[in-house]
Structure 1
Amino acid sequence: MNRQKEKRRRCRLLLLPGLMLLALGTTACATSGGDSSTAKPKPRIKVSVYDRVNVPSSEGSIVNNKITRWINEAGPVDVEFVPVLRTQSEQKLNGLFAAGEAPDLIMEYAPQIKNTLIDQGLLRPVDDMIEQYSTTYKERLQRYPILRKAGTGEDGRLYQFGRINETVPMRAAFIRTDWLERLQLDIPQTTEELFQVAKAFTEQDPDGNGKRDTYGIALAGTPGVVIDEMFGLIYPDYVVRDGELVHGWDNIEAVTAFKKRVYDEGLADREFWNDKNGYRARQDFLRGRIGIYLDQFNVPTAFYNDFYVRLKRNVPDARLTVIPYPVTPVGQFNPVFVNPVQMTGVVNAATRNPKAVMQYVDFAVSEQFMKTMYFGFAGIHHTVAPNGCPKLIGMEKWRTEFNYGVGDFGMLTSPTLAGRCYFGTEKLDEKEPLQREVQKMFELNSSYVNFALETAGPTHAEQMPRLPQDLQGIVNQLTGVVGTDGDLWLKAILTPNYSPEEARKEAEALWEQAGGKKVDEWYRNFYAHDRDQAIMTKDIYQLFREQRATRGK
């Protein structure tokens, strides 16, 4: 017993110096004006983030990196980020909700995923959160009422947070001008001329190596999507004709006929249908084997880093330009635009701290957050240029440490709202020749927009009106068969004795048998009577005009 008392006495003596130091430290804090005893920990919430498996190994993981650490240090709440594989978003979110583990704030682009969650009562309206707790987002709604229009559910309540994007043509048609000059060809103005140029690029040795080893055009992946756009088609395959919204059967048949000619003449990779994501076609173009390539072009820095630099490294003499979408047998169309009003955030109905969620949303839409996402840390990734705009110090360092996460952590940021500094081309350096070329092509692509024309589809796919569930079921059931890139149309391209006309007859019959006429009638009535309630092409054009005017200031 005495031994135990002596042991306790020695422990107290050992602890005494530490307790004295702790007391001194506390006194020092108190005398400097702070009181650690009254400091409250930040509230904690969970927020989903897309995982694209693209974080450099030097930067950690999608949930633990420079960006996430900065968010938790600078922001008003502690955030636990929940990774959601970009390619499996719906499955992952459904599993999290089923297990009662869904994040407080869900960041998601796809309307069909969010609408289903709203129907199931798994998401909460956010009107009260904004009214009681918000400052920044509340001001954003007042400045841009279109955000409320886009985020309101069928019951009239606001369910989604969103952002204002730089709206520019999302994609572009690129052509090798050095090949045009070598073969003395003009820029194609129609899809027939496009076909003839592709044929010459395939058969007349445009690279001058004495071999027949080039393709005129690509069909796989994004190039195939852009060809659909040229013919006026985006999901769900409805087009404006003579003032009505109609099923684009004429357009699908016409684009299938064009692709079939390209395939039959060997002007594209004969195995394009097996190149599911277009990776092989992209590599062929970057190695200088394809003359006409159609790709994403709404982020010029990404195009420069991931595309143009690699092409010029492989083929130093290659020269590119962008061309307007050519006239097709079913008309001429502008490219699809970046969705200018994009709803990206929804709130779990089971969240226990809506105030903390709103605090994070206000932080995520702030200018401070936006500057950091787009330009990194001051003095490390950017300096301030004479015009007052942040300017990247080194593209490569920013690319490694921020580029992987800008889009996904910044899904609530609206860069254009802070003025001309934050438009896409501001990261490009005009003194660097290749970056200057990309900037010129980017501006040229926007200059081709003809406001007298429709875009592919009556609006951006994310702004299409929401079908009733029974009609959406019909679309879901048949899209993979009779949609633009469905099995029937692929069969028409690949099969010698099966024409696009025959595919159309079979597709329309299947559509009618499944009740598709009811879908057609619903869309027709919407366009005739209710289109002013949605964001349509004319609204996108207006925002595009306003933003271009801002850039000119």
Structure 2
Amino acid sequence: MSRTWSRTSMSMVMMLVLVIAGIGCSAKSTTNAVETTQPSKVEKVYIYANAGNLEVASSFSKPEELELVRQEIIKKSGFEIVPIIPPKGGGDKLSLLLASNEPLDIFMGDVVMYRNHKAIQPVQKLLDKHGANILKLWPEAWSDSWKAFSDKEGNVWGIPSAPSLALKPVFLRTDWLKKLNLSMPTTIEEFEHVLQAFKEKDPMGNGQTIPLIAPVDALNLGLAGGFMDIGYGNWLDTDGKIKPAELHPGYRAFIEKMSEWYKKGYIYKETYTLSSAGARELVTKGRVGASLIHYSLITNSEHQLQQIVPEAKYEVAADLKGPQGFIQTLPDTPTLGWLISKNSKNPEAAIKLINWIYSDIENYNLLFYGIKDRHWKYVDEENHVMEQLNQDYAGEFLTASTVAYMKMTSFSDPAQKPEYDYLSTYSGDTSRVKKGTTADRSFLYDYKLISDSLPNQADITRMTYEEIVKFITGARPMSDYDKFIEELYAAGLDKWIEVYTEQYNNAK
């Protein structure tokens, strides 16, 4: 069953925020004086500091450094940001704040959920009046994000933090390609030939070469689209009904090919019991030739691998296509972003603050990384290549974090460069990916109604995943695929199709 709903996208976006927050730093210190002349009028804006950066921070800011950053923000913007720090290890403090009379203006959350709970307010009029920089920063190619933050009447209810991003590409060890006199593959046949060469010629040696690591979810989003005339996900059949990807004939052909690769030893035998930490360990040991896992497991491991194998290099098979075109599918449009509390005492100031943040990347850097040349510096200012000087400021004032700025920024640390290269070059490139049929509508679905109508939905999803793994690993023969579809219908697929078709039609 398709697992690419908006809720899945939410966790992906939060992960991205955590990734860009987990930056390396050098242990340098400075004593630069910071001028703190305040403007005559200062407006307070209360934020719930749940951008994700504090979750990975080793400690909070030094009090004196926090105060310096606070004063610098006031001096430059005319706003005093008052951060409300989420409890470590979770907790429901945000819900309590939203239900109380305590001051709160801006927080990060799922626009669909908080709109349905009447906890936020629409921002269209405020954007029209005070949000020119907010609207300008977001590229036209990501316009679906604004649709995801709008209701059926066209009212905008928040500010998106990330579009759909391609995060599960095919990475290949290009040093191994060179060693084996192979080219970067552009077709499935060429890719299969590369995997065969990795398997038979064993560039790692001693039988330690792993041709491909590819768990099911990554296979679905990273490769299945090449076998389907649409992107992977729920799709509209010729009978006018929305159906899961498993019923698409192209998906069946895809699973059949993956089963063939697994049988030949191209796909790592332990892939389907492998943790993320386990996958990263195999990469850093130099055993993995190709991967279809989350991009960060490769990019964050490459530098460590190069300490052992200096020539090791992973590159994206950017032009790889299947029988039906490009292989990657974008997840459904995320609905996680920056929202204005319904009880905000000054929503106008909140939008003005975000508009100021989006007027200049250095305003954003001030909130995220601290004071230029005190907490961070430019190594290459023209290209926004940065170096963090210390961890004295942890980012408590960060609000309105956005992938739009993340894609403009990189760090001089060679351990971080592969990740930022991928994010800036490939993650938002819509020219090499497909969209699912429901990507531009699923954010309008009534998920509470779906949950109420399909109480066994989780069981169907789990059953689908388990059976697909069996088909790939050979524990169940492909000749049983029709029987598997019959089992899905017996488990309630008819009702599932009815409910999702109704939601699709109602979301027009």
TM (norm. structure 1) is: 0.64
Call closer, same or farther: CA 1:118–1:374 in 2, change over 3 Å: closer
1:215 aligns with 2:194: no
Cα distance in 1 for partners of 2:172, 2:443 equals: 35
Cα distance in 1 for partners of 2:304, 2:120 equals: 44
Q: Deviations over 1:430-484 (max 9, x none)?
A: 9x9996998599758999945xxx604147x586442234246557852663389
Tell me the equivalent position of 1:80: 83
Cα distance in 1 for partners of 2:47, 2:419 equals: 42
The percentage of aligned residue pairs carrying the same residue is 16
1:354 aligns with 2:347: yes
Aligned length: 458
The range that moved more, 465-474 or 144-153, is: 144-153
Q: Deviations over 1:219-246 (max 9, x none)?
A: 2487444234555699982247889885
Call closer, same or farther: CA 1:513–1:162 in 2, change over 3 Å: closer
Cα distance in 2 for partners of 1:496, 1:143 equals: 46
1:323 aligns with 2:317: yes
Secondary structure of the residue aligned to 2:107 is: strand
Deviation at 1:119, TM superposition (A): 1.7
8 Å CA contact retained: 2:159, 2:337: yes
8 Å CA contact retained: 2:232, 2:329: no
Q: Deviations over 1:376-435 (max 9, x none)?
A: 6444533496xx7264464x648x678x869974425744xxxxxx854x64779x9996
Call closer, same or farther: CA 1:174–1:314 in 2, change over 3 Å: same
Tell me the equivalent position of 1:481: 460
Structure number with higher helix proportion: 1
Q: Deviations over 1:229-279 (max 9, x none)?
A: 555699982247889885322244344334433444443443333334x22
Taking the TM superposition and a 5 Å limit, the aligned residue runs for 1:16-27 are none
The range that moved more, 239-248 or 183-192, is: 239-248
Secondary structure of the residue aligned to 2:281 is: helix
Deviation at 1:60, TM superposition (A): 6.5
Q: Which amino acid aligns with 2:495?
A: A
Cα distance in 1 for partners of 2:241, 2:364 equals: 38
Tell me the equivalent position of 1:50: 51
Secondary structure of the residue aligned to 1:175 is: strand
Cα distance in 2 for partners of 1:150, 1:311 equals: 40
Gaps of 5+ in 1: 1-33, 416-421, 531-553
Q: Deviations over 1:103-148 (max 9, x none)?
A: 432213xxxx42122122222222454467x254577499979576
Call closer, same or farther: CA 1:194–1:507 in 2, change over 3 Å: farther
8 Å CA contact retained: 1:202, 1:215: yes
1:504 aligns with 2:485: yes
Cα distance in 2 for partners of 1:510, 1:205 equals: 44
Cα distance in 2 for partners of 1:364, 1:475 equals: 43
Cα distance in 2 for partners of 1:216, 1:116 equals: 42
Call closer, same or farther: CA 1:233–1:317 in 2, change over 3 Å: farther
Which of residues 374, 377, 388 in structure 2 aligns to 1:382?
A: 377
**Which structure has the larger Rg over C-alpha atoms?**
1
Call closer, same or farther: CA 1:43–1:235 in 2, change over 3 Å: farther
Cα distance in 2 for partners of 1:511, 1:325 equals: 39
The range that moved more, 438-447 or 376-385, is: 438-447
Secondary structure of the residue aligned to 2:291 is: strand
Q: Deviations over 1:200-220 (max 9, x none)?
A: 32343212x3x1112111124
TM (norm. structure 2) is: 0.69
Cα distance in 1 for partners of 2:395, 2:216 equals: 23
1:466 aligns with 2:431: no
Call closer, same or farther: CA 1:39–1:406 in 2, change over 3 Å: closer
Secondary structure of the residue aligned to 1:490 is: helix
Tell me the equivalent position of 1:290: 288
8 Å CA contact retained: 2:224, 2:327: no
Q: Which amino acid aligns with 1:116?
A: M
8 Å CA contact retained: 2:214, 2:293: no
**Highest RCO, 1 vs 2 (Cα 8 Å, sep ≥ 6):** 2
1:175 aligns with 2:205: no
Deviation at 1:291, TM superposition (A): 0.3
Call closer, same or farther: CA 1:516–1:60 in 2, change over 3 Å: farther
Call closer, same or farther: CA 1:257–1:236 in 2, change over 3 Å: closer
Cα distance in 1 for partners of 2:265, 2:180 equals: 19
Gaps of 5+ in 2: 1-36
